[in-house]
A and B are shown apart, each in its own frame.
Chain A
Amino acid sequence: MIRLENVEKVYRTDRIETIALSNVSLDVAEGEFVSIMGPSGSGKSTLLHVMGLLDAPTKGSVTLNGRKVESYFDAALAKVRNAELGFVFQTFHLVPDLSVLDNVEVPLLYRGTGGKERRKRAEAALERVGLSARTRHYPSQLSGGQQQRVAIARAIVGAPRILLADEPTGNLDSATGDDVLDLLKDLNTRERCTVVMVTHDERQAAKTHRTVRLFDGRPVS
């Protein structure tokens, strides 16, 4: 499903080079729920960004659904991200100027889905995360857990086959965090979604199929 081969990521500024990832190879199978762990600065988020095509690797290759990503042109990447991937972030990143429903509709906009169809699918996604009562609210009117559910609804509305979650429970208390994790797990088992999640929490990592540990940009096992 996702294959990284000898991926290296180096950040260059005027004077210094920072190696964020060095020689990472990784395979995630279809339907797998993988967690990525490691101390701060070990390159967890960078790895997720490379997988999600938000960031281009300095060396090595990324293969998604059997297709190797050859070019990192903006328009081509945007298309792949829109069709194949769903993102969930630690700080939710909901658009404050859009209602819950409009927020969830965002990925469908860039696919050219018609207005009615968008609404139908957004409502379905919100129902899936248990928030169908809040579609008219704005993000600022919701609790953290609710906001993250909206973000998850947004990630799944386009029925992507891969969900990438960057510390989705990092800003939530443990009970709410557990709820969100259960939701992700449910999506994984029932919808056969492949999930890759960066986490700090051993307890949560334990609930996933497999844990990849990173240290200084290298996988350790």
Chain B
Amino acid sequence: MLGHTLKSTVRVLLRRKFFTAVSLFGVALTLVVLVVAAALLDHTFGPHPPEVYSGRSLGIFRASLKGKSWTRNGGPGGRLLETCARALPGAEITSFYSAQDQEVTYRDGERVSLWVKRTDGAFWRALHFRFLEGGPFTDADDAAANAVAVVNDATRRKLFGDGRGVGKTLRLDGRTFTVVGVVADVPFLRAVPFADVWLPARTARSDAEARAWVGELRALIVARSRADLPGIREEYRRRVAAVDVSAEPRFDRLESEAESFLEMGARGMAGTSPHRAALAVAFFIALAVCFMALPALNLVNLALSRILERSSEVGVRKAFGATRWRLVLQFVTENVILSLAGGALGIVLSAGVLSAVNQSGLIPYAQLALNVRVLLWGLLATCVFGVLSGALPALRMSRLHPVEALQGGPR
């Protein structure tokens, strides 16, 4: 029976090349978009090194000074973090670092622009970078404001050519830094670890950041276990609420939350007001539904056309003893096979698109990859697609009266 269905499917699909091609294209395209989106999400938020503790990490990315009507939004400042984020109960590692900033250095008189992050020593324990040469700078380096730097591999190549990086120097911000470590490139989209050059926080020439409630710093907190996360959020919120900012003109309270990276990303898209966030989420869901519905509808329409044309076949099969469910099974199998073929094509295409994105430099240091999880979900989605899009036309056709079917199908 299966052999017969397969044989007939292959013939049907080969005889109607246009329909087959369009259906394959539709399934493949949908899958490509899904896989690329999933790869981007995974690439940005997934648990990949250096963020080895991402399952039990929280970040502090935003802070607001608020008054009755006045608001000042930004990242947390040093004063806020020192007051509220140190030694939270349940925290194993607490690291403060600056948002990356674009700074300029010169190589043989040529301007080289670099993303610079200033971090403490704990940063290197909270994140496990892969060191190609040397190692990280330490808390002691930071405390003494030693002029040392860690650079990524791309920067090493840009500044020092093919030779080793450790021991070389680079001038940034009016000071000369000695390279103590070289790490593998970290993708741009991984906002927490990403930079070209990492410098000790206290080498900054200004301590405006350290004195501010709202500024451009970030905190990364690794908890002892996942179970400690709610407690850390709660304690941080409590401490922030207790801060007295009445010395600031116009402002009377601080607001800041410890949140996961995914929450931070979602908030970045949706904005801060909960009303707006809900609307934005609804909008994205609606758009995603439309996006999924369209190829599905397209596939249903094509399958319907393909099956309508074969009403005589439906009539004959019925006359010779096929039950409704047999026919539904046959048409659904056809569509599932078609979808799976489209799925396979989609996976090949996705791999191509991902490597093209990686190589294009559109996203600096992108390492988008097809992973097994994404693939399996994609395949599952494809099968569901095939069953759904095949079932509707099949049900409609199988309900057809045999005499009507023999006479050429529904009008």
Contact = CB atoms under 8 A, between A and B. Distances in A.
Interface of A: 49, 52, 54-55, 74-75, 78-79, 81-83, 85, 87, 89, 91, 93-98, 102, 105-107, 109-112, 115, 154, 158
A78 B401 CA distance: 12
A54 B321 contact: no
Contacts of B247: none
B4 A105 contact: yes
A97 B8 contact: yes
Nearest to B313: A95
Interface in B388-404: 401-403
Interface stretch (B256-264, B283-291, B322-330): B322-330
A55 B4 CA distance: 28
B12 interface: yes
B8 A93 contact: no
Contacts, number: 80
A109 B1 contact: yes
B7 A54 contact: no
Contacts of A87: 316, 319-320
Interface of B: 1, 3-4, 7-8, 11-12, 15, 310, 312-313, 315-324, 326, 401-403, 406
Contact of B12 (A75, A79, A97, A111): A97
A181 to B, nearest CB: 21
Contacts of A83: 321
A125 B8 CA distance: 21
Nearest to A91: B312
Nearest to A45: B403
Contact of B323 (A74, A91, A94, A98): A74
A9 to B, nearest CB: 11
B15 A78 contact: no
B398 to A, nearest CB: 9
Contacts of B318: 54, 78, 81
Contacts of A55: 401-403
A110 B322 contact: yes
Nearest to B10: A97
A102 B320 contact: no
Please name the 10 residue pairs, one residue from A and one from B, whose CB atoms are nearest each other, closest first.
A82-B321, A97-B11, A107-B320, A110-B321, A78-B323, A54-B402, A93-B316, A95-B313, A87-B319, A97-B12
Nearest to B317: A106
B313 A81 contact: no
Contact of B403 (A49, A82, A91, A154): A49
Given A96-B15, A106-B316, A74 B321 contact: no
B406 A89 contact: yes
11 contacts: A54-B403, A74-B324, A75-B324, A85-B319, A93-B316, A93-B406, A95-B316, A95-B317, A96-B15, A98-B7, A105-B4
Contact of A110 (B312, B315, B326): B326
A93 B3 CA distance: 22
A136 to B, nearest CB: 12
A88 B1 CA distance: 23
Contacts of A91: 312
Nearest to B408: A91
B10 to A, nearest CB: 9
A206 to B, nearest CB: 28
A27 to B, nearest CB: 23
Given A102-B8, A110-B326, A115 B3 contact: yes
A110 B4 CA distance: 11
Given A96-B15, A109-B4, A82 B320 contact: yes
Nearest to B324: A74
A87 B4 CA distance: 21
A111 B319 contact: no
Given A87-B316, A97-B310, A158-B320, 12 more contacts: A54-B406, A78-B322, A81-B319, A81-B320, A87-B320, A91-B312, A96-B15, A97-B12, A98-B8, A107-B321, A109-B4, A110-B326
